[in-house]
Structure 1
């Protein structure tokens, strides 16, 4: 790259990371979570959410609000007893309560309530995430090979005893310093995009020990794909114990040092 190209590359990375940090530290982002509450058929109160919460006989999440308390769900104000219905796996509903948001979700087959309060000290004190300096050498060409059929892949979670299951669509092959490597890919957020979860030789040293994530664009028609490890990010569990983040599959533990992307958060140092 020329000096000008490197400057453009760095500026684009800086803009991307600034936007990523803003989303992370949003008023109701993961840094605002104050509790991870697991529901059962036994009604229970939580100190950071209104009312009494439980999973009903039909499997749906129910809250019984106290007199005078209210939530806003999908733009509608609800009072008294409200049934959220059955929440799909990895799905969720956000209910507004004053200046807080009460996340109602399902993770690993369990209904959970995760209140998000903007004044949570973890969010208020966050000053940004350390990173490696962006370097074009960590934009690595790869080749995507889809499986004949998506393969259900079970991985562990940041919460002991919890498991996540993803339908892996294929694997990505690439090389670092002449060493041939590959990563099992999961579906990404956007249609046809991919997500890889991985650890490497820096994990637990300069980067978070449990996992890092890399969102990837849809592969080309010929399977070509670029892995920009400068954009490897921490998952929420790197900052808070109130997250249920998935761990990488065993085959995604890379034996090389990927000295790119986000490092161990200051909150964990």
Structure 2
């Protein structure tokens, strides 16, 4: 996990950065479909395990040759059924998993449960169609669509991810794991300051220790800032909505003036039309 974190350094490359973003987004798609696959495997595990648990450990003897055939342990229990269905996703389960083997009758006659074996084979085939054909193809389509979206919008996606990584590394003074095991100059300076403040603590700083943060310094002004932060944020939000309301009111006034101007122009054209009609009637009457 420590060495895997070094993959984030690929975001600094223009060619590897979009691939890193696509890799993370594809991982989220795989996690979504893993939930669906888990539900499907659990449901078929319950059904097939209940169907084949009666034949667990049964051995059939051929009366002519004396050969013994034992029931395959693919679906006789919940764990074995889940394991068989999981490897069936990768086409690594044998076709003989659905065979039914039952003990001989009293006189040595061979007994078969063909209907049970047909139902088990049908359920196994339906599982292959649902998971291997449908769900896995849907997963491939989703990951392809995710990759195409990142490539089409590479400037925004990669720039945002690069900025996030840069801010993450600027906020900390140590190197990313596993390189953080190497002591740095800032680490020596922090340890020396922590020991100095422990011996002679000033009035504004106090040395503390916890399991989560190990050794750290508690600043008095930071507590004051934490108390004032909600007040400042509420004031900023109120100012934002106030400016937004003022802009909306100004836009309403402008729209009202535009509508009034249009009405005045329409009245002016109507009056001019009436005056022209009156002049025409005055010249025609004599």
Q: From the CA coordinates, give the structure whose radius of gyration is larger.
A: 2
What's the TM-score, normalizing by structure 2? 0.22
Higher-strand-fraction structure: 1
What's the TM-score, normalizing by structure 1? 0.23
Higher-helix-fraction structure: 2
